[in-house]
Amino acid sequence: MILVWHRADLRTHDHPALHAAAARGNVLPCFVLDPNLLNMPYSGQPRIAFLYSNLHALNASYQAIGSSLAVRAGQPEDALLELARLSGATAVYALRSYEPIGRARDERVRVALQSSGIEFKLLDGDCILEPGSLKTLSGGSYRVFTPFWRNWAAQTHPDPLPAPRTLEPHGITSLEIPAPVAAVPLPEAGEGAALERLSSFIRTVGLHYDAWRNLPAIMGTSHLSMYLHLGILSPRVAAARAGAAGMTAWVRELCWRDYYRHILWDEPQIAASAYKPAWNDFPWRDAPDDLTAWTTGNTGYPIVDAGMRQMLTTGWMHNRVRMIVASFMTKHLMLDYRTGEAVFNEHLLDGDMAANNGGWQWVTGCGVDAAPYFRVFNPVTQGEKFDADAKYIKLYVPELEGLSVREAHQPWTALRPPKNYADPIVPLGVGRDRFLETAKRHLKGAEPLEPRLLE
């Protein structure tokens, strides 16, 4: 008997630990409701609800092949030892975690299991190519994305593995899986739903992805991030199917996902601090009212407010808009990117340590291969360019209804500005210059001083 311990890998298809365990013996699939993960300050209620709905779905996947998911609550090492004792299991198989908190937990579990004579085996399966597997010509790890992508794309990717057809029943009872309670509508749960969404995305968007991906008013991207985050969909299956359909631009996004995981694996300290150390004592403003206005979507800048309100009401935000709201927060408002990262983590269904941290450090300019710090997105021109008919901003900021497209992007210029919508929180030029001057002073010598505005 082998325990297959699910964590952020809530699927039976292309699951190397499950596949290896089923090839060796009987399997007891399990999940541990670990208070350290569920009660973290920013675990995020929508994401926990989505986790619960997907535990129900994973249990149904197992029931369909003759087994079931055994759920326990508590410290993972205690729960696994109890399950091993009850089932007579001699080994625990799981997929490797790349986040610092997961790595520390796995080390603890390894020691506890080994001291009881139980094997603990970690296999790779959360990335398409595993951290440590790609080396530069000089044998080091990549820090720049483009050469990483070239090497990544040139490699043979592992073939996805099938789900087991049947498993023996194990007879171990389970805790009841909590009912999902969320303030946002949850996407359909389960690997079947994720695979179906992948197929429909390939069918309906397919080769248009490159042209549509920046338009927040349309379904131009896959909306698969929450499924990939919890491992409900295997990234290798996603890449193989999209690659076969010629969707290189989309596969490149999956490579970004791998890239940030590789960086986090090599540089775990970036979870808490900037990759470029000069940013760690940056004089961010302490401005709670500005933070509240940004968090609640009341800055007076429509595309920023629409993005934040999209996240608050749906648990997801379009990538282009994530860049705009993050740039506005860190540059125009000069607020610490780590606070923005935590707000995202609290509200996003796809809140993911590697991608979220990577995205925030990229926008701020303090990460690996980041945008230059002097790149300041202008939220008005960005809105006019990517939401040209103002559909997206009017959907999430109904106060703009009745304004022309031009006025909707700059409501303060309207003949009759909407009475119930915020005035701009800071004039764009004032916010931008405050940030650039502070950054120039602070980063002197640590960054190229070239404060030209790119957008």
Residue placing its CB nearer to ligand FAD in the complex, 28 or 393: 393
Name which of 87 and 356 has its Cβ closer to ligand FAD.
356
When the beta carbons of 92 and 335 are compared against ligand FAD, the nearer one is: 335
Enumerate residues 6+ apart whose C-beta is below 8 A from 192. 57, 61
Binding mask 98-117 for ligand FAD (x = CB under 6 A): --------------------
Determine if 351 is a binding residue for ligand FAD (CB under 6 A): yes
Residues in region 318-337 near ligand FAD by CB under 6 A: 319, 322-323, 326
By C-beta, is 350 or 407 nearer to ligand FAD? 350
SS (H, E, C) 181-205: CCCCCCCCCCHHHHHHHHHHHHHHC
Write the interaction track for ligand FAD spanning residues 185-224; mark x where CB under 6 A is met and - where it is not. ----------------------------x-------xxxx
Asked if 9 is part of the footprint of ligand FAD (rule: CB under 6 A), the reply reads no
CA distance 13 to 192: 10
Residues 228-247 within binding reach of ligand FAD (CB under 6 A): 228-229
Q: Is 378 in the site for ligand FAD (CB under 6 A)?
A: no
b or e along 63-93 (b: 16 or more beta carbons within 10 Å of the residue's beta carbon)?
eeeebbbbbbeebbbebbbebbeebebebbb
We find the least distance from the C-beta atom of residue 319 to ligand FAD, in angstroms, to be 3
CA distance 140 to 134: 9
Identity of the residue, 96 or 170, whose beta carbon is nearer to ligand FAD in the bound complex: 96
CA separation, residue 251 to residues 227, 245, 303 (Å): 16, 10, 27
Closest distance to ligand FAD from the beta carbon of 224 (Å): 4
Q: Could you say which residues in the range 260-319 bind ligand FAD, by CB under 6 A?
A: 260, 319
Nearer to ligand FAD, 42 or 111 (CB): 42
Give CA–CA dist 201/331, Å, rounded. Answer: 34
CA distances from 391 to 148, 221, 325, 406 (A): 37, 17, 18, 12
Going by C-alpha positions, the residue among 337, 387, 379 that lies closest to residue 362 is 337
Instruction: State the DSSP code for 26.
Output: -
Strand pairing partners for 121? 93
Q: Kindly tell me which residue out of 9, 106, 352, 447 binds ligand FAD, with binding defined by CB under 6 A.
A: 352
Residue 253 touches ligand FAD, criterion: CB under 6 A:
yes
When the beta carbons of 7 and 257 are compared against ligand FAD, the nearer one is 257
Q: Does 344 bind ligand FAD (CB under 6 A)?
A: yes
Determine how many CB atoms are found less than 10 A away from the CB of residue 208: 13
**Buried b vs exposed e over 279-290: b needs ≥16 C-beta within 10 Å?**
beebebeeeeeb
Three-class SS state of 91:
strand
- Residues interacting with ligand FAD, by CB under 6 A? 213, 221-225, 228-229, 253-254, 256-257, 260, 319, 322-323, 326, 344, 348, 350-352, 355-356, 358-360, 363
